[in-house]
């Protein structure tokens, strides 16, 4: 359903020529992401659990995230050639190619195998699952701390990908590097996603969780102070790459505490709170950036580092306890 709605939105986007058309596209996109919220992680974790490999969630989620990041290596470069001139026909071509890509993904999704653990979810009503999910978040102290850490160390990636453009302009970075830097950063993100699981194995949960959550904040603070053409590109790429560390690790941390029958619902609740937080913070970040975007980087970095210090976790928070 998520991919189907995405495809509908892209097709409408091709023919949109009025304000309300674009409003409709945004609404469809929002509903589309709501369908996807929670179900992807649940499919991956329960597929692993079915084979007794749930301990490999960080590794599997890293591979998934790395595969998704591959598009961020290719798309900026290909897109730069497609939109070689800022004409409507070029933009429409780029949107049409995006629609074709989503259509391919939709076709592939029809052949996904449903894990057996997932099928038990239909035995209880949606309201019961929602109520149990809220009860779990309220009663499970370890899961709540993991969620709070993830929430208050949000990398604000969407705002970061917007602010880096005026940041490059201020730093006198040649325009051609807008796409190249994005691709280089995505390459680092692929490596970070793919090998994030090794952090737990080598330095433990406490240090790896802190490194994964605090790193983007540290790089944001540096970006608020450094305006050198070459160093700005390096810092952007490092920040981009560091953002990728959190998702694979926390996918395992969260799912340890959640039952299969309620997994997608609980993850959707968590994503809902994360979306609300990022939306509210976006208003603040936007206001600060409107005054001076370097202060916006400083604000984001400070919030992330504060959250990483206040809600630190360790191995004891990964022990599942019955309520």
Per-residue pLDDT tens, the chain, 323 aa: give them: 999 999 999 999 888 888 888 888 888 887 887 788 778 888 888 888 888 888 888 888 888 888 887 887 777 777 767 776 767 888 888 889 889 999 999 999 999 888 875 454 456 666 777 788 788 888 889 999 999 999 999 888 888 988 888 899 889 988 778 878 888 898 899 899 888 989 988 899 999 999 999 999 999 999 999 999 999 999 999 999 999 999 899 988 998 888 877 888 888 888 888 888 888 888 899 889 888 888 999 999 999 999 999 999 999 998 876 55
Distance, CA of 36 to CA of 94 (rounded, Å) = 24
Contact 162, 285 (CB under 8 A): no
**What does the pLDDT look like over 10-46, one tens digit per residue?**
999 888 888 888 888 888 887 887 788 778 888 888 8
Scan for tokens 């630190």, then name that residue. Answer: 312
What are the backbone dihedrals phi and psi of residue 209, each rounded to the nearest 5 degrees, phi first? -65, -40
Going from the N-terminus, what domains does the chain have, and what CATH number goes with each?
37-318 (1.20.1250.20)
Q: Which two tokens mark 251?
A: 């996918």
Which pLDDT does position 152 carry in this prediction? 92
Which pLDDT does position 223 carry in this prediction? 95
Q: Give the torsion through C-alpha atoms of 313, 269, 67, 314, to 10 deg.
A: 10
| pTM, rounded to two decimals | 0.79
Beta carbons within 8 Å of 300's beta carbon, 6+ residues apart: 156, 159, 160, 217, 220, 285
Which pLDDT does position 56 carry in this prediction? 86
C-alpha R_g of the chain: 20
Distance, CA of 179 to CA of 298 (rounded, Å) = 24
**What does the pLDDT look like over 149-205, one tens digit per residue?**
999 998 888 889 888 888 998 899 887 788 788 888 988 998 998 889 899 888 999
Contact 199, 286 (CB under 8 A): no
Q: Which two tokens mark 9?
A: 């939105």
Q: Give the torsion through C-alpha atoms of 246, 249, 250, 251, to 10 deg.
A: 120
């Amino acid at each position: 359903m998520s991919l189907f709605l995405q495809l509908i939105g892209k097709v409408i986007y091709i023919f949109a020529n009025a304000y309300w058309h674009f409003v409709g596209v945004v609404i469809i996109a929002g509903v589309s992401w709501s369908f996807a919220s929670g179900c992807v992680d649940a499919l991956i974790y329960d597929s692993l659990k079915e084979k007794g490999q749930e301990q490999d969630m960080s590794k599997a989620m890293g591979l998934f995230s790395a595969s998704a990041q591959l598009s961020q290596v290719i798309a900026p470069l290909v897109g730069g050639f497609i939109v070689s001139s800022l004409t409507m026909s070029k933009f429409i071509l780029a949107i049409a190619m995006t629609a074709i890509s989503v259509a391919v993904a939709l076709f592939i999704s029809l052949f996904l195998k449903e894990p057996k653990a997932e099928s038990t979810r239909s035995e209880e009503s949606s309201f019961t699952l929602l109520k149990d999910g809220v009860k779990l978040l309220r009663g499970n102290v370890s899961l709540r701390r993991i969620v709070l850490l993830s929430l208050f160390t949000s990398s604000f990636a969407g705002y970061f990908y917007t602010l880096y453009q005026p940041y490059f302009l201020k730093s006198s970075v040649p325009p051609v590097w807008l796409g190249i830097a994005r691709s280089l950063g995505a390459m680092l993100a692929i490596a970070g996603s793919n090998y994030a699981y090794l952090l737990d194995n080598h330095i433990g949960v406490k240090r790896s969780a802190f490194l994964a959550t605090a790193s983007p904040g540290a790089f944001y603070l540096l970006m608020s102070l450094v305006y050198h053409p070459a160093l700005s590109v390096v810092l952007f790429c490092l920040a981009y790459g560091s953002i990728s560390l959190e998702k694979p690790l926390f996918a395992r941390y969260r799912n340890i505490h959640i039952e299969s029958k309620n997994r997608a619902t609980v993850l959707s609740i968590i994503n809902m709170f994360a979306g609300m937080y990022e939306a509210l913070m976006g208003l603040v970040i936007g206001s600060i950036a409107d005054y001076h975007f370097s202060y916006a980087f400083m604000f984001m970095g400070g919030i992330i580092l504060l959250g990483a210090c206040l809600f630190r976790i360790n191995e004891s928070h990964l022990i599942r306890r019955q309520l």
